[in-house]
């Protein structure tokens, strides 16, 4: 293998590693990633996972695997950003699991909740800070899969463009062009369609709202667009592909769905109205 081919292969491997690392980081730190942990009750270590995202029209399951039949559980919840009082229900046992459900909400509706387990009069609270689950409409797979694919490819080629610039390669315009096209298709065409299915709104970023997912997609696209035009004028330009890639990295560090669509019940209901309803 020639030195140029070896260099190209190594840069692609590094690009793939960087892309996968960013994708895993964003997923693991995002507000839709389940709350995970463990608690020790007696001689049993109980692992739990509390959902933070669920489809509308069906209740969200809350379940904890507990083999000790003497352990009971309670689920406490209320609508997020509301004047609701906390509701507490007993979890039911089915074999080695304690089960309950959170009532389904409309798209962008949220519920905050926590789970407590009990044995011998002692309480074991799984999450001190309430977990917040957001409900969303189901997105058809023929829309969702291409969206994810194009966003992944845009990140991959964006990283490859940056490395091409850093190591003084000659194919930067091609890599930047692929990044730009796939980011446009995945983020600015399919992205709004996904959001329409999920939250009944095509665009909630600037100038209509403050959704960071929409805003960071737009910002990233504009930087890559600027980098592309810079390369058209000067194919040897190495600064702007690197700048665009740094911006892409920076916005991807922001967890996905932060400041996303949500229903604020305090803006449509008052404390007085809530008291009357009760």
Q: What is the pLDDT of residues 163-185, one digit of tens each?
A: 999 988 777 899 999 999 999 99
The partner residues of 238 in beta bridges, in order of sequence, read none
Residue 36 main-chain phi, psi, to 5 deg: -120, 150
pLDDT in tens, 231-246: 999 988 889 999 999 9
pLDDT in tens, 181-199: 999 999 999 999 998 898 8
**What integer pLDDT is reported at residue 252 of this predicted model?**
82
Q: For the chain, state the CA radius of gyration.
A: 24
**What integer pLDDT is reported at residue 90 of this predicted model?**
97
Q: What's the average model confidence in pLDDT over 135-152?
A: 94
**How far lies 47's CA from each of 50, 141, 263, in Å?**
10, 31, 31
Contact (CB, 8 A) for 88 and 76: yes
How many residues does the structure list for the chain? 278
Residue 185: CB partners within 8 Å, gap ≥ 6?
A: 146, 150
Domains, the chain: 3-30+139-253 (no CATH), 35-136 (2.60.40.10)
Q: What's the average model confidence in pLDDT over 242-260?
A: 79
pLDDT in tens, 51-101: 999 999 899 999 999 999 999 999 999 999 999 999 999 999 999 999 999
Q: What's the average model confidence in pLDDT over 27-34?
A: 81
Residue 210: CB partners within 8 Å, gap ≥ 6?
A: 204, 259
273: pLDDT strictly greater than 50: no
What is the C-alpha to C-alpha distance for residues 251 and 218, in angstroms, rounded to an integer?
Answer: 10
**What integer pLDDT is reported at residue 274 of this predicted model?**
45
């Amino acid at each position: 293998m020639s030195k140029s081919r070896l260099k190209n292969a190594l840069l692609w491997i590094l690009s793939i590693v960087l892309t996968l690392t960013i994708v895993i980081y964003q997923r693991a730190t995002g507000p839709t990633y389940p709350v995970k942990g463990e608690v020790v009750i007696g001689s049993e270590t109980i692992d739990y996972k509390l959902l933070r995202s669920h489809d509308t029209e069906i209740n969200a399951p809350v379940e904890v695997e507990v083999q000790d039949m003497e352990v009971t559980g309670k689920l406490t919840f209320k609508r997020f950003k509301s004047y609701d009082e906390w509701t507490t229900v007993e979890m039911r046992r089915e074999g080695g699991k304690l089960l309950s459900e959170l009532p389904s909400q409309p798209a962008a509706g949220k519920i905050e909740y926590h789970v407590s387990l009990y044995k011998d009069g002692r309480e074991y609270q799984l999450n001190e800070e309430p977990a917040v689950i957001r409900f969303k409409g189901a997105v058809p797979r023929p829309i969702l899969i291409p969206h994810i694919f194009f966003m992944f490819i845009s990140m991959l080629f964006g990283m490859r463009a940056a490395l091409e610039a850093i190591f003084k390669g000659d194919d930067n315009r091609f890599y930047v062009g692929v990044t730009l096209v796939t980011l446009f298709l995945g983020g600015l065409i399919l992205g709004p369609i996904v959001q329409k299915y999920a939250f009944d709104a095509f665009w909630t970023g600037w100038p209509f709202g403050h959704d960071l997912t929409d805003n960071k997609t737009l910002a990233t696209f504009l930087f890559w667009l600027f980098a592309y035009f810079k390369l058209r004028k000067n194919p040897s330009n190495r600064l702007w592909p690197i700048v665009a890639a740094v911006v892409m990295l920076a916005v991807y560090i922001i967890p996905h769905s932060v400041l996303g669509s949500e229903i604020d019940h305090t803006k449509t209901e008052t404390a007085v109205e809530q008291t009357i309803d009760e």
